[in-house]
Copies of this chain bind each other. A is one copy, B any other.
Amino acid sequence: MTEKALIAQIRRMAASALPKQTGRRGRPTRILTGIGDDCAVLRFLPRRGKQQDMLVTTDFTLEGIHFRRDWHSPESVGHRCLARGLSDIAAMGGEPVAAFLSLALPRDLPKHWVGRFAHSLISLAQKHGVTLAGGDTAESPRGILADIVVVGSAPKGKSVLRSGVRAGDRIYVSGELGGSAAAVWEMRKKPKRKLNPRVYARHFFPEPRIELGRILREKGLVSAMIDTSDGLSTDLAHICEESGVGAELQAEAIPRASVGKPARVVHLPFALHGGEDYELLFTARRGKRVPSQIAGVPITLIGHVTRGRKIILRNRDGVGYELEPGGWEHFRS
């Protein structure tokens, strides 16, 4: 498939998805020029009289690192590619506006792979009112290489940062953790077997928590927020480092995913260190009343922020040990 044909195909698909994308009322942004010029032109309009800040995030999706073609369908790769960026917007309490896809493909890639990949990515974009507004294409020297940029908006000065945490703040997490890592574990154990994407949906088709993030920001509930892309232990360490604080977690309280068929609760280390669940990890001041469910997503209190610099995990007997960030290594092959 030539570069020109690829651009034309994605452009057509993006254009046909446009009407629904721009149908939402009161959107704070207009895409004036999208694919086909030197740059996309975006206009940020005031919303309810409030100026908008612009959010930008960029994430790689590389074959052999973030996915494997024998394990992940093109639909899963397209979905996860955009979900990574959307999740970053969610973690700021923002609303996604536009996406830019840079895609480098090996010369021998079947055309249908690209079509299925792009269709899935654009479907997720559409669902969240996001326009695919540009990008770049190239021939890849080896493997499929994608880089997704998502641009979002948040009312002026209201973005939820990673910093701003104080000792005494409560620590919450949305949904369940470890489901994505458990899928990777299964695939590593039996590389020949195809996993059922519906049974391991959190890995193959993660839902970015856009609505939850926006509501948390609007209600002024949170002091800091991050998405669990690297895993709880690493992402909590990021938050703590930014504010020079520590944390204490209750091992029992950490919500662990149920995966597989029959469904089984994942082991604690998956929930502690497994990445790519794309849940929201956030803190709230002690007195704040945080609902146990928001926008259909369960919210769980898992610990509190401390003055020390360490992160302590306490088991049900009250015994605590230091929790070191456990690196999430994707699919190094």
* Residue positions of A touching B, CB distance < 8 A: 32-33, 36-44, 51, 53-60, 62-66, 88-89, 91-92, 94, 98, 100, 102, 104, 133-136, 138-143, 145, 147, 149, 151-152, 154, 156, 159, 161-163, 225-227, 242, 332-333
Contacts and interface: CB of A to CB of B under 8 A. Distances in A.
A41 B149 contact: no
- Best-buried of A141, A154, A242 by chain B (most CB within 10 Å): A141
Contact of A54 (B54, B60, B92): B54
A55 B43 contact: no
Nearest to A161: B37
B100 A58 contact: yes
A34 B60 CA distance: 18
B143 A62 contact: no
A149 B62 contact: no
A133 B42 CA distance: 19
Chain A interface, DSSP helix/strand/loop, else mixed: strand
A57 B136 CA distance: 8
A140 B62 contact: yes
A39 B141 CA distance: 29
Contacts of A36: 162, 242
Nearest to A59: B136
Contacts of A333: 141
